[in-house]
Structure 1
């Protein structure tokens, strides 16, 4: 007994079947993801960031990751918090590199780093990361998520950050001046003002008083000499 499919429905059935076959045959999309251990708040620290690098290869283990740090975090402000046995962290230009013995093929890589202080003006921290395998393969998870490309194929790991607590001012933004605060004075200006003895309120300064006293003494001495000469016979 044969199974007959109406001609009108055969194309739809074949398309759906092909879609299922392609879906099952395609590789699972991996990512490098980052989360914070506890609250991630701008302008605070230290904060431990936990990374998870999913394995795309079932024949070769992961041997390292290179990560570019966001603006406001220097390589020297990052230290290793956790990693597989034998792995070590080293600072590189603009970021850090973590490497060690190859993981088990197909096994995800989990590691953590501690950041001394998060930037005070951060709202999101992006960590472009290149994942390396023992066979020389590299996966570059470096594409930013933008309005134009909201779902890139190789997205960089990103961490949302809460606003800085009250009282923390972003270093890149100077504190606004108020009318009650006098203008800052440089060291040179302070030295010049102290040496000149200039009055602060526009009155007679110390230098003027001393000069007047000297003149008064000179006048008195001169007058005394003149009077003595006139008194002589």
Structure 2
């Protein structure tokens, strides 16, 4: 009889221990379950006009999400991203290295779901979108780790290989016009003005214009003096 009671007692203890262990695992693993999910309708390298959807999960029971800031992966420029859909009243703003989607605080516990459209995905195997998630009480969740096994992994989109013949899109018309309208620098010597050319000729002859005028005046004076001297001598002889 004692042996049977011992078995029941042991089984009861194992059940309690298992439940306690499961509860402890749930409590410690809880924060790791929350993250930002990302998916795309055309998750393929070099695909064009791709809509990418994000689901930023809420980790707060007392404050709502007010902002989601994303740092774009290499190969996607902020100018090539446009806003798709998002929470009511939220707006999209492009930055130097990514974009921000923000607006009135969502209800506590509600995820921030939104989408963007990318002009063309780069030729890569996966894209990591580092995300900062801000709440109305100032709390910030940083989903920025590239290690997917980390505590705060960045949302990462895996891409299929590019389709045969797919190539990077050409620059936008605005960029092409800007590049073509820029004049090519050419080194040229400035042309001389007529006055400068005249001066240059005078300098080449060895005498300036003023010098020639002075010589002409001197010749006239000398000639006049000679004429006066001859007339006076003739007058004296007569």
Partner of 1:108: 111
- Structure 1: 5+ residue stretches without partners: 172-233
Partner of 2:158: 160
Aligned residue pair count = 163
Query: Could you tell me how far apart the structure 2 residues matched to 1:161 and 1:151 are?
Result: 19
* 1:74-223 map, 5 Å: 74-119=77-122, 121-145=123-147, 151-169=149-167
Q: Give the CA deviation at 1:124.
A: 0.8
RMSD over aligned CA atoms reads 2.3
TM-score by length of 2: 0.62
Q: Shift in Å at residue 17 of structure 1?
A: 2.8
- State the alpha-carbon separation in 2 of the partners of residues 63 and 103 from structure 1: 7
Query: Does 1:17 find its partner at 2:15?
Result: no
SS at 2:92 equivalent: strand
More helix by share: 2
Does 2:59 correspond to 1:56?
yes
Paired residue for 1:34, among 29, 38, 53? 38
1: CA distance, partners of 2:96 / 2:45: 23
Runs (5+) with no aligned partner, structure 2: 170-238
Question: Residue 194 of structure 1 corresponds to which residue in structure 2?
Answer: none
Structure 1 CA distance for aligned equivalents of residues 65 and 42 of structure 2: 29
